[in-house]
Structure 1
């Protein structure tokens, strides 16, 4: 049987886009990410059994330096190509899928989505260091490493501490499609440009795979209208209009609270689709503009086969007590 192994991936570009200048998004610098990665290596020691850590290389050389300075026999670098784009995450995820028991990823919604597309059923521990952090959890790297180690060694049953996160698809009638982890938006713009969506009045509508009042972006707008947990296999369709009679207050980007006009909304059950007919628009996923479309219909629908995300609280609730604790209890 292969030794328990976890994967570690750090996105060097996460948390560094234009929204940190226009709003209140937290800046996540290279030094902080490297220190967090080092904390993961320490955290695996909480498990009783030894755990190997395979670290993905990256364009900022955070992973490479983490391995070089680790001076531990249980830490090695993943052998995949690095090009400095999101394709690096896809390649690393595909390699992880074949050889690790759990993956810790430092990034935002976009990084988590890129990993989720290729990771299969491997439990994913998403730690927030991005600009959009609807899905990843703000947790210490040491805690993430310990949780991953408990899962990798079997000390905690992954079925008891993970859930399948619904995703959201956008399909253009010209055959193109794109998948978001939490949100897909139809934006009244002609070009992708700087990618980040800053003005809520630009949205014509979209769909979300989760809705909660305290979330940022479209899922927070939906959360002002209803509640949808990410594991329920449902979604919400939104039709937005700055001039609509009804409006809700939402956190539109980090550090910014605004009123958003809502012309209509509805739940999306599995198999349901909301179609937007546009002359010119851009499709955004998880807060970033991705596809330019003209004279098209865009269908938005929930997809239940998303990533297997780890509930950190559930891991530690199920984690075994230390052996010496049992000895004291018996006395």
Structure 2
């Protein structure tokens, strides 16, 4: 258990990963502080925490702070031992201007790091993404798994605003630590598509895949493959990266291998959800059909670059260095589906 006087700041407290980080920090005995862009979000966050059975939610302290503004960050980090910087935009569709994502991700990360350094925080864990590792590598040997040594090639094909925002923000974080970080330590977690139990009716972009399949909202399965990981395991890796000596100055790929195709996800739902999975389509949508639909649906356009691309990854580093062992990708998918039904987001 944590020392009673150790405070952890979790940025972006209303987010999917952030709420599970808060839950696990409370379970571990930390005092928890979290930022939200508006204090009007406080009750929504607390309801989500309570829905998961979190203990001591009344002790969570909320601070108002925005990634685009300097105000509030000094007060948010004051007295904290650790910071989990989870807040970052993740769009459901491509933005009109890529800087709408890049600027908040990069500048917000630097704001948090400067405030943490000035407040003598011991370590910051930044939530990056597989998008900063595995994009722009068309033609790569599909049998070669991605590792923490890999970086997204910003000049490569199919690299959009989101991939750029995560790569640029993470690069900026490492450069900051090297050049002006002082005694501040940095660790980075790079999750793939995050699934698992939702905590309310708001759902992340990754969960929308399961939601659309479960409700029968899409006619079939695009030829897309990606890594999957349960949000509870993402939070667990954040806490390990926050305190473990081996995590200082390191980044960790966060997934439950192997990668899954959308058809794999659909078949898992059909097999594991019984009658509740009866609407799930399992036929494959040809690439040319999906590309045509992308002209009319910006959400579909966002996934076009991922067609027929294999993205295997290795988690040996997190397993051997930190003792991390995630649950299966199928269990993460099913947990998403069960919670979508439980919270009434999907009617089956």
TM-score (norm 2): 0.30
Q: State the structure with more CA Rg.
A: 1
Q: Identify the structure with the greater helix proportion.
A: 2
TM-score (norm 1): 0.31
**Which structure has more strand as a fraction of its residues?**
1
